[in-house]
């Protein structure tokens, strides 16, 4: 098959760090254009907005939308209506209804829509899921603490409505938990700490349970200094499972497994397979949990955030 002619829309940190290398390393793709507010100075045509690209005559089969989530819906609609396959960086949209609408539009257009959850492709996630499937789960702790100044410098959109705040990384933990835990779970209580000069939380404490009454506690904080924590710890009748470093390191009673980072290469392999099969993959479970937290959570004002 001919390579998928793909354009990246939004050439920021995540595109440069992950999307561009993954595309370059996969022969299933050919990068044919970029869309960004500023010329990214790459060896392909650059356009200031998606309309310019669509009117240019450059042949495009797919786009990867790496913009902030607040503007992603309109861009995705334009692409889908032009019969262009769409790869959505996480979170797939600013609201659940937006993503449901995009799924309908993609189905009607007969093209692929992929809501990507890169953390599900971390090396330890699938082995963790398989190990937990044969065990009784007694307790789950999710600790996702990082320094926003290090990982999201200058990203003002993350503090605006629809930017999710600390749930921008926290949704990665939820994407793993919804994949590896054998039963669906639901929110019972939440406290969200929102700086007085922001519209999104800087920290959150959430408690979930499932149909078996399993306690699940989630601790999110953007103010972490020193060692960063991206850990999921599951107590079972067969011992303790720990996923660390965002899912790349798996510790089981029988030992530790750590493999190289393959998240984005695996995402792009999945996207190519979906395009070839004429299928979509749009799981909204992680985003639904975030929406529930905003709906049910107690908002507590804290001191202003100054980057």
* Active site amino acids: 90
Mode of pairing for the β-strands spanning 29-35 and 46-47: parallel
Going by the DSSP 8-state scheme, the letter that residue 52 receives in this structure is: H
**Do 189 and 206 meet the contact criterion of CB atoms below 8 Å apart?**
yes
Which residues, listed in sequence order, are joined to residue 256 by a DSSP beta bridge?
251
**SS3 at position 204:** strand
> Hey, is 274 helix, strand or coil?
helix
Q: How far apart are CA 156 and CA 133, in angstroms?
A: 40
3-class state of residue 111 by DSSP: coil
Between the alpha carbon of residue 188 and those of residues 129, 209, 247, 298, the distances in Å are 24, 7, 25, 12
Residue 41 to residue 34: CA distance in whole angstroms: 10
């Amino acid at each position: 098959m001919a390579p998928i002619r793909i354009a990246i829309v939004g050439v920021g940190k995540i595109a440069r760090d992950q999307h561009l290398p993954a595309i370059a390393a996969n022969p299933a793709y050919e990068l044919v254009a970029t869309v960004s507010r500023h010329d990214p100075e790459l060896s392909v045509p650059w356009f200031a907005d998606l309309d310019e690209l669509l009117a240019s005559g450059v042949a495009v089969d797919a786009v990867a939308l790496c913009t902030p989530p607040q503007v992603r819906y309109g861009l995705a609609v334009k692409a889908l209506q032009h019969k262009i396959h769409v790869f959505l960086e996480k979170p797939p949209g600013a609201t659940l209804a937006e993503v449901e609408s995009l799924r309908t539009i993609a189905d009607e257009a007969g093209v692929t829509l992929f809501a990507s959850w890169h953390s599900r492709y971390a090396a330890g996630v699938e082995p963790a899921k398989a190990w937990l499937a044969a065990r009784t789960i007694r307790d789950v702790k999710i600790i996702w603490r990082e320094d926003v100044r290090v990982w999201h410098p200058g990203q003002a959109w993350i503090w605006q409505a629809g930017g999710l705040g600390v749930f921008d990384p926290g949704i990665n933990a939820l994407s793993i938990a919804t994949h590896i835990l054998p039963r669906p779970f639901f929110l019972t209580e939440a406290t969200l700490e929102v700086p007085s000069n922001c519209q999104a939380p800087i920290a959150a404490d959430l408690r979930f349970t499932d149909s078996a009454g399993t306690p699940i506690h989630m601790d999110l904080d953007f103010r972490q200094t020193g060692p960063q924590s991206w850990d999921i710890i599951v107590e079972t009748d067969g011992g303790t499972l720990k996923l660390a470093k965002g899912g790349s390191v798996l510790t089981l009673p029988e030992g530790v497994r750590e493999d190289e980072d393959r998240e984005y290469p695996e995402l792009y392999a999945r996207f190519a397979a979906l395009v070839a099969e004429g299928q979509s993959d749009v799981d909204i479970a992680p985003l639904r949990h975030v929406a529930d937290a905003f709906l049910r959570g107690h908002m507590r004002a804290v001191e202003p955030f100054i980057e």
